[in-house]
Chains A and B, each alone.
Chain A
Amino acid sequence: MHDRVLCGDPRSEAKDRRLTHPQDGAPIDTVQNLRIELLRVTDELLGARAELSISRRTVDDRDQQILTERAEHERDLRELRAAYESSTTWRVGRRIVTPVEIVRRGIAR
């Protein structure tokens, strides 16, 4: 039984310093340390992908929300206009006209 080369341990006797950890500069000088670094990088990659996916979904959701709100707004507008055009009347002289007719036909009050 033995203790293997220690990750990040100051007693490490590693000599090869071509690969170093980006944060603390510790050498990546063994298969084990390389594996750990790969785990860290892969975790970051999967995490970043997941965050990107969440962001895209959020954008999609908001786009859909805007489309829905716009459609609802347009429908409300149509309903208001229809109600306005059909139900509101004015007496102009002897005539009963809607406000739209007043505007379109230039009927003076």
Chain B
Amino acid sequence: MFSIVTPVYNTDPDLLAEMVDSVVHQTERSWELLLVDDRSPSEATRAALGRLAPTDPRIRSIRREVNGRISEATNTGVAAASGEFVLLLDHDDTLVPHALARIAAELTAHPETDYLYTDEDKIAEDGSALGEFRKPDWSPSRLLGQMYTSHASVVRRSVFERVGLLRSGFDGSQDHDLVLRVVEVAREVRHVPEVLYRWRAVAGSTAIDVRAKDYAWDAGVRAVQDALDRRGLHATAGHGGLPGTYRLDWSQQDIGPVSVVVTIDGVQTTGGPLTDGTTSGVVDAVRSIIDAAAGVELEFVVVHGQETPRAELDALEALGRPVVRVLADPRGAASAARNLGSAHASFPTLVFLDDTVRARSDAFLHDLVGPLSRSGVGATGAHSIDAEDRIRDAGFRYALTPYRRPYTGRALDDAGEGNALYVDREVSAVASNALAISAATFRAVGGFNEDLSGDAADLDLGRKLTSTGLQSVWLAYARVQDLRSTLPADPSDAELGILLARWGDTADDPFIG
């Protein structure tokens, strides 16, 4: 049975009735609705509660003795609940008629589920549609960047109680704080990719503009920081680039020594001349990393071709860092060059970098490598912009027929669906022009497939990581600029054949629709 808990405070009687109506008309009949009046001064609201509660024996109205705000009011409802699962329903929102039935079916099919979320849409006060939010499958990195699971969420009541209910110190982002704690103990988290919840955008609601509740954004920063501290991660939470988003600063994390494997464009099959007309920018690439890696022990493994200007290679000596030069097999592609470089690296963390790439954010190396310390993270990729300040790479989507690069070419200030371009998030693969991975993981998955190049090799690496239980994470605030004037070509038919034979195809990527 579902216990639907709804705190009520001065709610418009019509909206309250609409919310109750959406519950009463659920096709799934096993539910109770707990309406918790948080000491509403409004007589109209109290009268509405008095009228609505007796209309169905499964509706219970509870009046608190004192106003406790959202967290306390919700906890009052949970304490009175008897269902196996708790669904938090805001007082002015609605469920679609088959919402509980669909959720019940998913819970039956996956009995270890402790937390489940669905897609949602936003509606205006007059009921007109404002847009759907199609969410990714379970994305723990994204949850640290924004409260993306939101409505409708269902928590097993025993887990809700075990983590200590809602905490009033996080009011405004109390649900985010709760979910961050719930997923730390949940046996399974599931996503139902269907719109089952209608979030009403009324004045002052975060559904319209998160800025309407600045205190909520501040509380969110505290909730994320608390999660980082609980998990023993040495990162600092801060406000992200858009309201309701958060960025993690990893500059205090000891990331250990790093081997940076730089492949030079001249040995790649996928590149072209740089926008400044030169063919190699290895010195500038290495210098940009050194400038954005304060206090990190670095080694550079530079994989170059016969045609790489000798002056460029000699200039590396002047940078004062250990440099290993490796001459690449001229028959090899970029994947082979990267594997070759990795074999000559001596440190436990590898960063692959094309010589066309320049670090463009402070503490870039910490921000790129730091998240590897999180459990389940196999590789990280940078937010890559092109020479004209458009997005070049923001994580790959695995769907081959047809293949397409998501986000490439969009404006730098494009928020992406659900602000996806302003938060760190799991993706099917990350681009290898600026990619971090532990050397042990890289070897365990066999590095890059040398029969593949460009996007195909990156997609294959992502799939290999996934097959070993690890994820690729795209980082919104670890930024690089790639000066190449061309994009990698789409995978060839032969490359698609290899990918399809190994990994099959799917119509929907789990993280990018």
User: Interface of A with B (CB < 8 Å)?
Assistant: 1-4, 6-9, 31-33, 35-36, 38-47, 49-51, 54, 57
Q: What per-residue 1/0 map shows which CB atoms of B306-324 lie under 8 Å from chain A?
A: 0000000100110000011
Bound-state CA distance A32–B345 (Å) is 9
Given A36-B343, A46-B446, list of 4 further CB < 8 A pairs? A6-B329, A7-B343, A51-B501, A57-B504
Contact partners of A51 in chain B: CB under 8 A: 501-502
Within 8 A of A (CB), among B311-356: 313, 316-317, 323-327, 329, 331-332, 339-340, 342-344
Contact call B327/A9, Cβ cutoff below 8 A:
yes
Q: Of A3, A8, A41, A54, which is within 8 A of B502 by CB?
A: A54
Contact call A1/B503, Cβ cutoff below 8 A:
no
Is residue B463 within 8 Å, beta carbon to beta carbon, of the partner chain?
yes
Contact call A54/B326, Cβ cutoff below 8 A:
no
Contact partners of A33 in chain B: CB under 8 A: 343
The residue in chain A whose Cβ has the minimal distance to the Cβ of B464 is: A46
From known contacts A6-B327, A46-B467, infer whether A35 and B343 are also in contact, taking CB-CB under 8 Å: yes
- Main SS class of interface, A: helix
Contact call B325/A1, Cβ cutoff below 8 A:
yes
Bound-state CA distance A42–B447 (Å) is 8
Contact partners of A47 in chain B: CB under 8 A: 446, 449, 498, 502
Contact call A4/B344, Cβ cutoff below 8 A:
yes
Is residue B411 within 8 Å, beta carbon to beta carbon, of the partner chain?
no
Contact call A39/B339, Cβ cutoff below 8 A:
yes
Is residue B444 within 8 Å, beta carbon to beta carbon, of the partner chain?
yes
Is residue B414 within 8 Å, beta carbon to beta carbon, of the partner chain?
no
Bound-state CA distance A2–B326 (Å) is 8
Contact partners of A36 in chain B: CB under 8 A: 339-340, 343
17 CB < 8 A contacts A-B: A1-B317, A2-B325, A6-B326, A7-B343, A9-B329, A32-B340, A38-B443, A39-B343, A39-B442, A39-B447, A40-B446, A43-B449, A49-B467, A51-B501, A51-B502, A54-B503, A57-B504
Contact call B446/A50, Cβ cutoff below 8 A:
no
Contact partners of B467 in chain A: CB under 8 A: 46, 49-50
Number of interface residues of B (CB under 8 A): 34
Contact call A4/B324, Cβ cutoff below 8 A:
yes
Bound-state CA distance A1–B463 (Å) is 36
Contact partners of B501 in chain A: CB under 8 A: 51, 54
CB distance from A67 to the nearest CB of B (A): 19
Contact partners of A54 in chain B: CB under 8 A: 501-504
Bound-state CA distance A7–B443 (Å) is 17
Q: What per-residue 1/0 map shows which CB atoms of B434-472 lie under 8 Å from chain A?
A: 000000001111111110000000000001100110000
The residue in chain A whose Cβ has the minimal distance to the Cβ of B326 is: A4
Contact partners of A43 in chain B: CB under 8 A: 445-450, 464
Bound-state CA distance A7–B447 (Å) is 16
The residue in chain B whose Cβ has the minimal distance to the Cβ of A45 is: B446
The residue in chain A whose Cβ has the minimal distance to the Cβ of B313 is: A1
Bound-state CA distance A35–B498 (Å) is 23
Bound-state CA distance A40–B336 (Å) is 10
Most buried by A among B325, B343, B344, B449: B343
CB distance from B369 to the nearest CB of A (A): 21
Bound-state CA distance A51–B498 (Å) is 10
Contact call B339/A32, Cβ cutoff below 8 A:
no
Bound-state CA distance A24–B468 (Å) is 31
Contact partners of A39 in chain B: CB under 8 A: 339, 342-343, 442-443, 446-447
CB distance from B267 to the nearest CB of A (A): 12
Bound-state CA distance A7–B301 (Å) is 14
CB distance from B48 to the nearest CB of A (A): 50
Bound-state CA distance A33–B339 (Å) is 10
The residue in chain B whose Cβ has the minimal distance to the Cβ of A50 is: B502
Bound-state CA distance A35–B503 (Å) is 25
Contact call B343/A44, Cβ cutoff below 8 A:
no
Contact call B326/A46, Cβ cutoff below 8 A:
no
Bound-state CA distance A61–B152 (Å) is 32
Contact call B443/A3, Cβ cutoff below 8 A:
no
Contact partners of B313 in chain A: CB under 8 A: 1
From known contacts A35-B443, A42-B443, infer whether A3 and B325 are also in contact, taking CB-CB under 8 Å: yes
Bound-state CA distance A46–B447 (Å) is 11
The residue in chain A whose Cβ has the minimal distance to the Cβ of B322 is: A1
Contact call B326/A44, Cβ cutoff below 8 A:
no
From known contacts A33-B343, A36-B343, A39-B339, infer whether A4 and B446 are also in contact, taking CB-CB under 8 Å: no
The residue in chain A whose Cβ has the minimal distance to the Cβ of B439 is: A35
Contact call B504/A42, Cβ cutoff below 8 A:
no
